[in-house]
Amino acid sequence: MHGIIATWRMAKEGIEQGFEQLNQNGKASDAIETAIKAVEDFPYYKSVGYGGLPNEDQVVELDAGYMDGDTFDVGAICAIKDFANPISIAKKLSEEKVNNILVSYGAEKYAREHHFEEKEMLTDRAKAFYRKKKKELEQQAQELKPYDGHDTVGMVCLDENGTVVAGTSTSGLFMKKPGRVGDSPFVGSGFYADSEVGGATATGLGEDLMKGCISYEIVRLMKEGLTPQEACEKAVNDLDASLKKRRTVAGDLSVVAMNNKGEFGCATNIDGFSFSVATSDVEPTVYLVTRQGDGHCTFEVASKEWLDEYMRVRMAPVEE
């Protein structure tokens, strides 16, 4: 059994490429890197890699994390500027004995020394979104929301050898403070993998996802015997309830998970969450998630119309 699951529809083309590698007995570590790089390289996704939206100083700062569920090797970078593929740098860092998490100029120095591709990551399109947002904020004193086109890619991948890996890549929240880091590069919050159990990954408001160490919690629940679907729902619903109890509001929390049998699940506390998945039993598919009143989440295959509309919106000219 092999498979790959990812947050959001934007991962579809990436998981198709990674899944192809898995079909040919490729390693999970290679397949996930291929899949996440495809999302990072696509200029129309505003929240990951090239074309990612900038912070309030109009600088694109990228975060990425990677975990190998066989060895528990972890690597991550935070607030790195102008490197094409953050996931590859995080993965490389996971091979080091120490110094596995590097931030800002330290991450850039490491990436340069290891000859990772340097690239100006702020696109003209992202600059147009920045100008537009600035104007709106000035005119309407709006509150910033993490889903202003902002979708982190997180993936879990299982190969035929039973290895489970997890990875994330994001430009974080649009208009974030310089140096701000969310859950995505933090093991246990943004991602977690244990080949004896499975893996999980998260997207949403990093400040709140971190409060529940949600990816670790999902894997822990699967280890206790819950299915991926049960574990995702329990982790999201418990954290959502705790946040509301203590703080009145809960930020956006969305997760996906896959166990080491290739079974998968998802959960969310918002409308509009989607995920992409492919396994030995399921061809690459995008699902739309619906949260029921009781917190149970159901998902259905996205229609062609929905998929086309998604791309149309992503690629439409920016109206300033």
Q: Which residues bind ligand SD4 (CB under 6 A)?
A: 146, 150-152, 170, 172-173, 182-184, 203-206
* CB of residue 16 to ligand SD4, shortest distance in Å: 22
Nearby residues of 79 by Cβ (< 8 Å), 6 or more positions away: 61, 62, 63, 103, 104, 107, 178, 179, 180, 181
Nearer Cβ to ligand SD4 (2/291): 291
Nearer Cβ to ligand SD4 (195/201): 201
Helices (H), the chain: 12-23, 28-41, 86-93, 104-113, 124-140, 206-209, 214-223, 228-247, 304-315
Lay out the sheet containing 191-194: strands in order across: 191-194, 198-204, 253-259, 264-268
Q: Is 71 a catalytic residue?
A: no
Burial class (CB in 10 A: 0-12, 13-18, 19+), 53: buried
Which residue shows structure tokens 């159990």? 197
Taking the C-alpha atoms of residue 236 and residue 223, their distance in angstroms, rounded to an integer, is: 17
Nearer Cβ to ligand SD4 (68/151): 151
Nearer Cβ to ligand SD4 (144/280): 144
* CB of residue 297 to ligand SD4, shortest distance in Å: 17
Nearer Cβ to ligand SD4 (60/226): 60
Q: Which helix or strand (DSSP H or E) is residue 288 part of?
A: strand 285-291
* CB of residue 194 to ligand SD4, shortest distance in Å: 21
* CB of residue 177 to ligand SD4, shortest distance in Å: 12
Taking the C-alpha atoms of residue 110 and residue 88, their distance in angstroms, rounded to an integer, is: 12
Catalytic residue among 34, 123, 152, 201: 152
* CB of residue 152 to ligand SD4, shortest distance in Å: 3
307 phi-psi bin (left φ>0, alpha ψ -120 to 50, beta other): alpha
Q: Catalytic residues, which ones? A: 152
